[in-house]
Structure 1
Amino acid sequence: MTDHIAIPARAGDALAGPLVSVAPVAFPSRDRPAELQVRLTVPMTDRALPIVVLSHGHGPSQYVSSLYGYAPLANYLAASGFAVLQPTHLDSATLGLRHADSPEAPLYWRSRARDVSSVLDHLGVLDKVIPDVATRMDTGRIAVVGHSMGGHTASMVLGAQPRDPATGHRVNARDERVSAGVVMAAPGRGGDALNPRAARDYPVLKDTDFTTMAPPTLVVAGDQDHAHHLNVVGAAWQTDAFHLSPGP
């Protein structure tokens, strides 16, 4: 992958100058089996900073699935003028909780969506860490970006509703403070598109309703990213959020 951090699409699109990254920042995490830790990455600028919450994937790598991953993307977004917040979700390989005796393990799908809202609930934590940055964060402009299982998380925050396999009920985790999103290589619909093994191991993926995902959303998928371990229909599966949601 080429690092395009210093190359704006048009003159003036990207901000000149260095970035500041602070981690870990501890956020309130009551009734959570591990502390909610977040990385903040921002440009050194006096401008107001729209907020991006970046949700990591569930992959097997040790540190990509945590606040320590996605540096090229986080840095690019920060260099483009955003305050980037990266929570470490409970399914991160760094925490060792994937095989815990918890009804949410191994994906912690419901907790992931709560993490995004919790970060936004407690932005005041940053007043004590980087007070100058905290005063410039634009809470009226918030987006969520997610990759892989993080894309599933972003979809939920944007309004998609999975069916809870334990109760059979739809789960609404929509956070109205989030006005736009980016969903990258995310799980698609369930049903007959899902690999039988994935349906057994990750039952929450059996049924996701994208018709309630209305905010503007960029859906990114690779045409060679077949994810055979998850689905039986091929790379197009990861475009379901685009085709099945009503939003622009």
Structure 2
Amino acid sequence: MPAPDLSLLEQAAREAGEIALRHWRQSPEAWDKGGGAGPVSEADLAVNAHLERLLRGARPDYGWLSEESPDGPERLDAAHCFIIDPIDGTRAFLDGHEGFSVSLAVATGRQITAAVVHLPAQRLTYMASAGDPALLDGAQLRPAEHDLDGASVLTGKPSLVPALWRGKVPPVRREFRSSLAWRLCLVAEGRFNAALSTRPCWEWDIAAGSLIAARAGCIASDQDGQPLRFNSAGAMSAGLVVAPPGLHGQMIAALGPASGAGAPAHA
């Protein structure tokens, strides 16, 4: 039986997905947020409004951190906090592609304790809670261990710039998906070996996927190998490395230290 928070997130994600699908491939109004923050659409805002009503209505004492809501310091004092990306992969959504997700998580203290990543157009739902296995539509997830050389890595081209590595850039097979949350789930599922970002990552992009990957058996850390912490004041991590333990260690050893420079990764 799913924990209460996980059941609530699953319900919310499925309802949010139906709202998103009503706008998908219907030329929704969209605009650029400015400052390198990427696009947003009327669909993102509609999904966000529904999630806030449902989730905060059910858990009024929880904090709230969402890509599409104004942030405030009151969440930092909350014992629990929702961390939400209403549509992760907005560019894919606007282009009519299926690779967008609804990413929902609960942080207890600085750790994620419940997580759902739902892909409405593909009818896929990944989920996990602390202490329980990660699941895809009820089936337990297992990652695929691999040596660094030849590993399939979900990452953007900027992560393979030689200056970011201690030696030569490893000969990995790079692929990309617009939704960062989905990338972490694909690693948890074993369809790819690792996910990497050498740019700062917003918490709402990685909160849910990081727990799903961890409960599948991966290690999810920042670029320096340090554990991820959530509901932080800056709502951002210093890069991201997600992989099974052996490959994760190889990647951390091969990467240079995070500089904190560059625009945040976003979808």
More helix by share: 2
Same fold (TM over 0.5): no
For normalisation by structure 2, the TM-score amounts to 0.27
Higher relative contact order (CA 8 A, sep 6+): 2
TM-score for the superposition, normalised by structure 1: 0.28
